[in-house]
A and B are shown apart, each in its own frame.
Chain A
Amino acid sequence: MPGFRLEQGGLIDRSTPLNFRFDGKSMSGFAGDTLASALLANGVQLMGRSFKYHRPRGVYGSGSEEPNALMTLGRGQEEESNLRATMVDLYDGLDARSQNAWPSLNLDLLSANSMISAFLPAGFYYKIFLGSANFWLLPEYFIRRAAGLGYPNALDNEDDFQHHYQHCDVLVAGGGTSGLAAALAAARSGASVVIVDEHARLGGQGLWRNAEERVFVDAALSELEANPKIKVLTRTTAWGHYDDNMVACIQIEGDPGAPLAPHQPRARAWHMRAQRVIYATGAIERPLVFANNDRPGVMLAHAAGSFASKFGVLIGKRILLATNNDDSYAHASILAQAGAEVTLLDARSAVSAALTAQAKAAQVDLRLGQTVLAAKAGKAGPSAAEIGALDGKSSSLIDCDAIASSGGWSPSIHLHSHTGGKAEWRDDLQAFVAGKRLQEGVTVGAAAGLFGAQDALASGWQQGLAAAQDLGHHQASGEAPRLELAEAPTTTIMPLWSCPKPKILKGKAFVDFQNDASASDVAMANQEGYRSVEHLKRYTTLGMGTDQGKTSNINGHALLAEAQGRAIAEVGTTTFRPPYSPVTLGAFGGPHTGMAFAPIRRTPMQALHAAAGASFVEAGLWYRAEWYSRPGEDMWASIKREALNVRQAVGMCDVSTLGKIDVQGPDAQEFIQRLYCNGMKTLPVGKVRYGLMLRDDGMVFDDGTVARLADQHYYMTTTTAKAAAVLAHMEYHLDVVWPDLKVRVASITDQWAGMSIAGPRSREMLQAALPGLDLSNEGLPFMGFLDTELNGLPIRLLRISFSGELAYEVHTPSRFGPQVWQVLEQVGQDFGLMAYGTEALGALRIEKGHVAGGELDGRTTPADMGLGKMVAKKKDFIGRLGLMREGLSRDDRPRLVGLMPADGRSKFVAGSQLTEAKSVGGFGQITKSLGWVSSAHFSVEHGCTIALGFVENGDRRHGETLYAASPLDGLHVPVTLVSPHMIDPQGERQHG
């Protein structure tokens, strides 16, 4: 008979019944149930299917170690898969579905895998499908579909996730008896304490293990509540311990699969920075390894005990419990007292009198020197078990309807291990405990191998006090809490890693349930040379499931050690990787996803552009206006109109995104001089100069302009993309390389708005806007600037040109940007002023042969861009020596050229490669490339595509024809190499 609800007992609230569904079937449970306990109470044994063989599986554990009972909850937006039924608190309306089974959990066609499991041992896939790669794609298709557990949600996530930051003196991970004692001790000493627990309520096993412990837990809980120095977080898992005692926790809000309350996040990621961390993380029980130990109705001993004590659910009427350690006697007693017939098989031939008496008192049928060899079980739970002595010589069948087993307990030292702390084997416990530590974290209670409640409490208390004292707090006043159990539990254990082979029954003995790694897989891996624990893990997939080997790793490693005739300590254990248990990805993203993933920068004039019909494009976090649509125009019509208007009348473009850096100090001139590769020393106050900046390796880093505002004061601009990098470059050289230079730099990008006024009528227009000013070539020559006012608004007027036209830039403090823009727009009406976007800007600068992002790609020298003559010969500057190296100074590097279609009209694209070949060869054939097209655009001046590109010796090849090949677009266009200055090569316009 499968599990059922007891008449009484448990921590459930029987006055609050809850309805839920499992695979469409209506069921009911009580408040305080987990989904697992409620299913058991409804007689459900079969809860899932395993990963590989699709074997039927039932619940195995009681908490986050659960390998089998994984389910999908909720529908639509709320749907969430791979939830462990043991960790889901029951709620009214819960809708759970089984996973990894088709067509149904009961009749899963892929369970056929189980029948051919002899052909599917560990690593079978490495030995077959040994053809070429494309041959693998077919079997892989089917393997992929058979693998996986639940389905991902098919809807884009709409739930919120939050990030929280918390500092405290002492963080206690785990709210069982030892954790509670530690929290009390630290808090009573005056330390600030945070205690977290993955379950909905604190107390751990102390809630149900025995009455005396429960008294302590209740008293502790009320003290925690009353003490404002303690913060309690439940449903919160401390999943990772990182550098400098940062412990990452996730707190689950709301119920998985259920809608959230308004403004409620799905989960919170807590970043806890603690002075001291106390790991009260408990221990995880290991199963015995016997045939069919994976069947529904077979589970861990403590799980059977906890279902009875905590939830009032008995897993069967005739329960067989097999063990190798003392702890199981308590669970056997609990089960017997709840009304089950319990047979306890203890593999040890002799145990203490106290244990024998305990078993007898509880009317447990204790059989020493015996263990379970196999379960006789299908989908619906066991009907019998084969039991026998350890020598495996004789065996017999015994009737039972549930089987529990315990192979001992493994302390949870995951967090300790995350920080690089070592694991140490202890023979007396048959377990790894925390060894050498690297961070301020200590284990207490079961996590420290102290499995008895008294010891656990004492260790928690002591470490809580120690942590507080260590931080300078005083000794806690008042009595230490005491726990006096009628009989102190003992914790002896005998190693038993695999039960003898059954003689009557047959079946695989599993080590890792979720991934179907069996004892024979471990043996086979070892036989085949996969001898390291890491090889074992990777070859058999043992410990690679969602439970991360919580119940299986130690068993697997012990079996490997046995097979090699070595000690477990020698074989070692695999590294624990965070997270302790799986963490919802959304919690990592927190609020920093979607539009908030990266900041968006907007210029002061953004709203004006939007109102004028601009489309925006991101450029280094900035959203820049690409073009301004007018009614009836398509994109290209807008761009062409804007570009043409600059060439014919006057246009205005928002250039606020350019990096702007203020440089001041007695050594500012010297610093600027070292920063740029061209001469800057002679730049007089009141003038602007174009500058080229190199990296130390000699490649061009950035370009921009430098205005000398005063003797010791410069105003620099950088490209939009490199603004932050250039500032950091300057700061580094001032702080680290030349700390003797007396210079300060500050980014003023955000403080200044800028607009470019370009076109043959720009002077007329600005003259109209600034009637009192002399804007003639004498008053404001090319590369001059002046500070003045426009309608009472302060502006800096610089005569510089990117488009090649007569042009100016108007800079103004950001808060005046929109006003200045509007004033100029107003004045400009009489001169045909139009706003233009980055597309037209790009087209214009290509026509002029000015380099930008496509050319400044970090792999070009000044000479590559035809700017070799700018490089100063008579000064030192960053990159000078780098530039002297053979690879950068040789003459045959690709050089900047202008490119035009040979036929005067064919379109070609940026990213094309330049070749002499009439066509590009097919797959496997090499076509020599001579260069590439770095930027291309439609030219209003020439009425066709024009481009900039780089060609080996390009500066000496003007007039030659090559092909711009873009096989990606199916284009192969003959192009003529020309001077990069495709308009006004003498610069008459900008100087005009």
Chain B
Amino acid sequence: MQRYSIWSLARNAMTGHKNWQAAWRHPEPKPAYDVIIVGGGGHGLATAYYLAKEHGITNVAVIEKGYLGGGNTGRNTTIVRSNYMHDENAHFYEHGLKLWHDLTKDLNYNVMFSPRGVLNLLHSDADRDAAKRRGNAMRLNGIDSEYWDLATIAKKLPDLNVSKDARYPVKGGLMQKRAGTARHDAVAWGYARAADARGVDIIQQCEVTGMIQDGNRIVGVETTRGPIRAGKVGIAVAGHTTQLLNMAGLTAPIESHVLQAMVSEAIKPTLDYVVTSGAAHLYVSQSDKGGLVFGGDLEFYNSFSQRGGTRTLEHVTAAMISLFPRYAKLRLLRHWGGIMDMSMDGSPIISKTPRDGLFLNGGWCYGGFKATPASGWCFAHTIATGEPHPLNAGFTLDRFERGYAIDERGAGPVPKAH
């Protein structure tokens, strides 16, 4: 791999940037691999990278039906955090946050992880009590979390309406300073480049159309570019998890829903933190380019459409203007949708499946992007060793029927309320 650095940039500038190597190859698929990862998004690419790096398994193919990083990895609002209450989620996401902090260095690719702080606004006593329970649980789990009072928030967020008479008066906030945002595309590209350098074949424009099964064992996949055999197959396809599992005769506790993201025109820096409000259903941050990136609720119906509707767009925007009234005269530049694999408890699945040799990584709901490093790391471990790592031991597929749902929101077995 051609190392990136300020020196390599300078050297290439002198030669008109003619000598940059391709960040990854565009190989033809081989007839067989030790491991096939279906899905060339952040999770699939990270899995391949950690299989190679942590487990020495390099005869790996990542198979992507479109272009790498083209699904939810490249469509989300880029928030990275580990502010979870339940131990299973807290330990997992905190492991991920530690990986995030060193990811740029590890991949030799600037993923622009910016630990600028994520602030959850609290608007009522009930909000505050629930947030404190979560924040204190984080602290007991060794994760940073602090409580910001109204005065602090008013000072740090001059754009926020902190009037006592607001529809959602701000009572305080839970801040995780080590959390922040990252450049989503760069995460996919950085992992792809680093995985490719370790020998992983990334095969784009290749759609998996079936599973090759031998008894109860999955031994490969059928694709639009022919059959490819594999010792093990891992699925990391977000919104299309059900469709891939169906190919192996399995059903999942997952529904696909659309989540919208919105971005405004670029403006000069005005919002330094990632701000979320549970009561108003909003999260917003300002990208390095200057656009306000925001989102809120799901569309609340099954959909594979990758586009949103005006109902949610209007509601989410109204929420933002209500909290930040001075943003009313900014303009929306774009809005789009991603297909979320909504699990029935709002927590993910990184697990073996009832089929031998078939592993599942899915159910990421809203939160897949931030999980990318930890997800890849744990999924690689699960595939390599055949058993989950303690960090993902709770994220099994059978937790639902056994009564061990990890219900972070207490919303119950509905795919649309997490």
Contact = CB atoms under 8 A, between A and B. Distances in A.
Is there a direct interface between A and B, measured as CB atoms under 8 Å apart in the complex?
A: yes
Interface of A: 51, 79-82, 118-119, 121, 124-134, 136-137, 140, 143-145, 147-157, 159, 161, 240, 242-243, 246, 248, 266, 269, 271, 418, 420, 520, 524, 527-532, 534-535, 538-539, 541, 544-546, 548, 575, 577-579, 582-586, 588-590, 592-598, 600, 617-619, 695-699, 701, 853-854, 857-859, 882, 885-889, 909-913, 915, 920-929, 932-935, 965-969
B226 interface: no
26 contacts: A82-B267, A129-B104, A133-B115, A134-B101, A148-B269, A153-B329, A156-B161, A157-B329, A420-B305, A524-B20, A538-B74, A546-B265, A584-B328, A585-B321, A585-B328, A585-B330, A589-B328, A617-B124, A695-B413, A697-B412, A887-B403, A926-B140, A926-B141, A932-B133, A932-B137, A968-B174
Contacts of B204: 532
A531 B26 contact: yes
A152 B322 contact: no
B409 interface: yes
A132 B136 contact: no
A271 B402 CA distance: 47
B405 A147 contact: no
A151 B267 contact: yes
B156 interface: no
B151 interface: no
Contacts of A529: 22-26
Nearest to A721: B126
A126 B140 contact: no
Contacts of A594: 166-167, 321-322, 325
Contacts of A151: 267-268, 270
Nearest to B124: A618
Contacts of A240: 310
A149 B321 contact: no
Contacts of B333: 546, 548, 579, 582
A597 B322 contact: yes
B142 interface: yes
Contact of A592 (B21, B305, B314): B314
Nearest to B268: A148
A281 B408 CA distance: 47
A699 B9 contact: no
Given A134-B115, A529-B26, A148 B289 contact: yes
Given A534-B74, A910-B129, A528 B21 contact: yes
B387 interface: no
Contacts of A82: 265-267, 331
Given A152-B326, A585-B327, A886-B403, A911 B266 contact: no
Nearest to A626: B125
Contacts of B286: 144
Given A147-B266, A913-B140, A528 B332 contact: no
- Which of the listed residues A154, A157, A243, A859 has the most CB atoms from chain B within 10 Å of its own CB? A859
Contacts of B313: 588
B13 interface: yes
Given A126-B186, A520-B17, A136 B114 contact: yes
B135 interface: yes
A585 B332 contact: yes
A53 to B, nearest CB: 14
Interface in B219-247: none
- Which of the listed residues A79, A541, A592, A927 has the most CB atoms from chain B within 10 Å of its own CB? A592
Interface string B321-353: 110011111111111100000000000000000
Interface string B60-80: 000000110110001000000
Contacts of A137: 114-116
Interface in B361-418: 399, 401-405, 407, 409-413
A748 B114 CA distance: 51
Contact of B70 (A118, A532, A583): A532
Given A127-B9, A529-B24, A695-B412, A593 B401 contact: no
A145 B286 CA distance: 12
A156 B321 CA distance: 9
Interface string B74-111: 10000000000001000000000000111111001110
Contacts of A934: 129, 133
- Which of the listed residues B10, B66, B185, B315 has the most CB atoms from chain A within 10 Å of its own CB? B185
Contacts of A148: 266-269, 289-290
- Which of the listed residues B116, B186, B265 has the most CB atoms from chain A within 10 Å of its own CB? B265
A590 B128 CA distance: 30
Contacts of B332: 579, 582-585, 588
A886 B402 contact: yes
Contacts of A271: 310
Contacts of B270: 151-152
A889 B404 CA distance: 11
Contact of B334 (A157, A530, A534, A578): A578
A212 B26 CA distance: 56
B24 A593 contact: no
A585 B142 contact: no
Given A118-B13, A133-B115, A137-B114, A911 B131 contact: yes
Given A80-B329, A128-B4, A534-B74, A582 B109 contact: no
A909 B22 CA distance: 57
A548 B286 CA distance: 19
A854 B286 CA distance: 34
A119 B9 contact: yes
Contacts of A912: 132-133, 136
Nearest to B21: A528
A927 B137 CA distance: 9
Contacts of B267: 81-82, 148-152
B136 A528 contact: no
Contacts of A920: 139-140
Nearest to A163: B314
Interface in B249-291: 264-270, 280, 286, 288-290
Contacts of A909: 132
Nearest to B24: A529
Contacts of A535: 67, 69
Contact of B329 (A546, A586, A595, A596): A586
A128 B401 contact: no
A695 B289 CA distance: 46
A692 B105 CA distance: 54
B154 interface: no
Contacts of B53: none
Contacts of A577: 307, 334-336
Contacts of B134: 911
A147 B290 contact: yes
Interface in B32-64: none
Interface string B117-129: 0000001111011
A147 B5 CA distance: 23
B33 to A, nearest CB: 21
B370 to A, nearest CB: 13
Contact of B10 (A119, A585, A696): A119
A154 B326 CA distance: 6
A79 B143 CA distance: 43
B113 A133 contact: yes
A634 to B, nearest CB: 17
A132 B329 contact: no
B318 A538 contact: no
A853 B313 CA distance: 30
Nearest to B189: A126
B321 A144 contact: no
A537 to B, nearest CB: 10
Contacts of A598: 167
Contacts of A886: 402-404
B139 A967 contact: yes
Contact of B112 (A80, A125, A857, A923): A125
A148 B290 CA distance: 5
Contacts of A134: 101, 115
A578 B260 CA distance: 12
